[in-house]
Structure 1
């Protein structure tokens, strides 16, 4: 149970300004959003992501976790409607509220909302192998490691490995019983 109350809603333009200072350097931006983003995070980055939520069959869903009416968490699910697969991505908890037990209930709600849609059978994610806190949370939610892409991302002079995790609808349903 989180130490502070948490509500989950759809991420919107009103949340954008609160998120712009969450990432202190290029490594933090890449860890959150992948190697295609630059530092500092800009309004245009988030606006482009939001545009993908606004089509009849959206390419992504975006979620905001609120604690005391302030943005405390962010997550996205990229949607592959043809194959019934989502990719959980761009998960972050605001550094000002980390350590208060928000990540697991926030992501549990995101996963619940994802599997509420019968079009989807699988939720997957990529996580850098050094991110032990995130990996613990994903394991606790029922995700299973499916492999590692070694030396998959270059950040400065450092190379990072990426672990691949997956969760099937049947596994989620069994864990919810």
Structure 2
């Protein structure tokens, strides 16, 4: 069992991509992670498209890798709205073989600290499917507040999923 204090965070790059291609065992699992616009199975081309959004002085996305030793333990992205000073925490995943070991909270704490270190941003928000109780506990533990629910917002097969919106302001981050 890895020690959560051994987790390091760095910019996610192409070298990390292959390690997460098998993290999502079904279309539903991929949608839960990345939203309904991704195609199952996750492949390098889709990750390359995400990485393309990280370029430039004001990229539309930041991507982070959480590592324990040299092993990819987690992945997260922050979509960036530079004009309004808002980021959207997205595509949060912990390596399936490392889940339940207390890595999510320190990983997201470091990402949130890095986000608010940039004075251009005042708000960090996220969407989470309401059935994802483990993720919701993690977000609540970091200080995010539920701001509403978009009922029946995503169609996955014959099912409809509700999406909750959570937010955290710079003034609330400690």
Report the TM-score range of the alignment, normalised by the length of the smaller protein: over 0.9
> Helix, strand or coil for the counterpart of 2:59?
coil
- The C-alpha deviation readout for 1:35-58, integer Å capped at 9, x for no partner, is 000100010110000000012210
Distance 2:121 2:54 in 1: 17
Which ranges in structure 2 are unaligned for 5 or more consecutive residues? none
Counterpart residue number, 1:102: 103
Cα separation, 2, equivalents of 1:162 and 1:92: 17
Normalised TM-score (structure 1): 0.96
1:17-66 per-position Cα deviation (integer Å, ceiling 9, x unaligned): 00100000000000000000010001011000000001221000000000
Q: Which residue of 2 aligns with 1:59?
A: 60
Q: Distance in 2 between matches of 1:159 and 1:98?
A: 26
Residue number in structure 1 paired with 2:161: 160
Q: Which residue of 2 aligns with 1:32?
A: 33
Work out the CA distance in 1 between the residues paired with 2:160 and 2:56.
36
For structure 1, the residue ranges without an aligned partner over 5 or more in a row are none
Q: Distance in 2 between matches of 1:44 and 1:156?
A: 24
SS of residue matched to 2:54: coil
Q: Which runs of 4+ in 1 moved over 3 A?
A: none
Alignment of 1:124-135 (within 5 A): 124-135=125-136
CA distance in 1, matches of 2:84, 2:7: 32
How many Å apart are 1:160 and its aligned residue? Answer: 0.3
Displacement of 1:67 after TM fit?
A: 1.0
What is the aligned partner in structure 1 of residue 85 from structure 2? 84
| Counterpart in the other structure of 2:14 | 13
- Say what the alpha-carbon RMSD is for the aligned residues: 0.8
